[in-house]
Structures are given as C-alpha cells and as structure tokens.
C-alpha cells in the first residue's frame, strides 16, 4: 500500500475539520430552534461558514490551485467567523446578541460576494504575509478561550471550561502551524498543528453534545 503524500494527508485533515464543524453547526442550530437563543444562532452560522470554507479548501487545493488561489477568501471567512464568536462572548444581553447576529448575516453576504470574486484575487505576496493572516485566526480564538475561561472562573460551569479548552486547542494548533509558512519542508508543523486544531474542534463538538 502506497504511503500518503502531504497533499493527501492535508486533505484528510481538512475533510475531518469540515465534517466536525458541519456537525457543530447542526447541533448549534438545533439548540437555537429549541431555545431561540441568538448565541446558538451565531455559533451555528460561524461553524457552518467554516465548514463551507473547509470544502472550498479541499476543492481549491486539489483541483483549482493551478488556476487561482482560494486562500484569501478562506482566511477571511474564518477570521470573520471567529470574530463574531468573540463578539458573542462580550455580553449575554438578548438585544446585543440579536444585533451581533444581524451584522453577522450581513458579513456572510459580503463573504459570498468575495467568494465569486476569488478568481480575481492575487496569490499571497510572500509566506510572511500568509503567516500573519493565518495567525490572526489564532489571536482571535485565543481571546475567545480567555473569555470562556473567565466565565468558568466566575461560574464554574462545565460548558465554559470545555468551550475555553476547545478554542485554546484551536489557537495552539494555528500557532504550531505558523513555522510551516516559512519552511514548507517542515511538514511536521503542518501535521501537528492541523491535528491539534482537529482535536479542538472535536472538543467543541463534544461540548455541544454534552454541555
């Protein structure tokens, strides 16, 4: 049996991440339809967007890379998605969360426009730019983790602890991947980083199943 190459391994990890985020989105929307709590709606839209981004990444990396790059769109969509999750951690007020959800839908619509403009989007100028853009995701997810850990220290709930742990693992995974942008022969950074992110997403799914 032939060993998997780096593209195939990365594709498998992307499939896993896209599948997990899709399940998280379904679970979040299921809770939203039961509780009508806008926090669940925001999480559902964010994770659904990230799941779609994963599918676009699989298609883009395997079939479209020689024609145009989808990376700018993928990073932007993930940053926007995580940013709205961050905003949702700032207040539990119903009016505030409803406004965040409304703005989130506007930005999702803008992302759809950006998706259709992807063929016109240039490649990253250099690895340093891509590394910085990628790391923005890690900064946002780390701040989300800190906010949930703060909630855990205040209230001691299992949900807050698991949410904080999930986003911390996602942030650490992104940070571990960062050296790979500068030295793409160091595939171990990519594999370990993506695997850590996948574990973080699995923890997030578990949180929604038992939380």
| Over residues 103-126, mean pLDDT | 88
Domain total of the chain: 1
Convert 37-47 to b/e letters by CB count within 10 Å (16 or more is b): ebbbbbbbbbb
114 belongs to a structural domain = yes
Q: What is the pTM of this model?
A: 0.91
Helices (H), 60-157: 71-88, 94-116, 127-155
Distances, alpha carbon 189 to alpha carbons 5, 174, 176, 177, 200, in Å: 15, 10, 6, 5, 16
2 belongs to a structural domain = no
Q: Return the pLDDT at 68.
A: 67
| Over residues 186-196, mean pLDDT | 90
User: Is a pLDDT exceeding 90 seen at residue 186?
Assistant: no
Do residues 45 and 107 lie in contact, with contact meaning Cβ atoms separated by under 8 Å?
A: no
Least confident segment among 2-11, 126-135, 138-147, 194-203: 2-11
- Helix, strand, coil percentages (3-state) for the chain, rounded to 5, are 85, 0, 15
67 belongs to a structural domain = yes
Place of tokens 């850990």: 149
pLDDT tens-digit readout, 30-67 = 999 998 899 999 999 999 999 999 998 888 777 765 56
**Domain housing 88:** 7-210
Q: Return the pLDDT at 211.
A: 66
- Nearest alpha-carbon partner for 202 in 53, 17, 74: 17
pLDDT tens-digit readout, 61-106 = 777 655 667 888 999 999 999 999 999 999 989 999 999 999 999 9
Q: Return the pLDDT at 69.
A: 75
User: Is a pLDDT exceeding 50 seen at residue 1?
Assistant: no
Residue scoring higher pLDDT (170 or 210): 170
Residue 136's domain is classified under what CATH number? 1.20.1070.10
Q: Return the pLDDT at 201.
A: 96
98 belongs to a structural domain = yes
- What's 126's DSSP letter? S
1 belongs to a structural domain = no
């Amino acid at each position: 049996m032939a060993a998997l190459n780096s593209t195939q391994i990365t594709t498998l990890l992307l499939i896993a991440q896209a599948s997990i985020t899709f399940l998280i989105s379904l679970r979040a929307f299921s809770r939203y339809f039961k509780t009508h709590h806008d926090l669940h709606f925001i999480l559902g839209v964010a994770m659904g967007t990230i799941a779609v981004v994963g599918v676009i990444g699989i298609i883009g990396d395997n079939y479209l890379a020689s024609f145009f790059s989808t990376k700018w769109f993928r990073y932007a969509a993930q940053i926007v998605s995580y940013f709205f999750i961050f905003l949702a951690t700032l207040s539990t007020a119903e009016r505030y969360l409803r406004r965040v959800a409304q703005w989130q839908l506007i930005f999702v619509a803008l992302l759809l426009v950006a998706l259709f403009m992807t063929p016109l989007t240039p490649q990253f100028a250099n690895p340093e730019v891509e590394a910085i853009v990628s790391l923005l995701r890690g900064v946002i997810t780390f701040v989300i983790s800190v906010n949930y850990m703060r909630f855990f220290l205040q209230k001691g709930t299992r949900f807050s602890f698991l949410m904080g742990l999930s986003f911390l693992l996602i942030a650490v995974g992104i940070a571990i991947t960062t050296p790979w942008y500068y030295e793409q022969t160091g595939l171990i950074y990519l594999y370990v980083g993506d695997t850590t992110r996948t574990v973080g997403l699995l923890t997030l799914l578990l949180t929604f199943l038992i939380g």
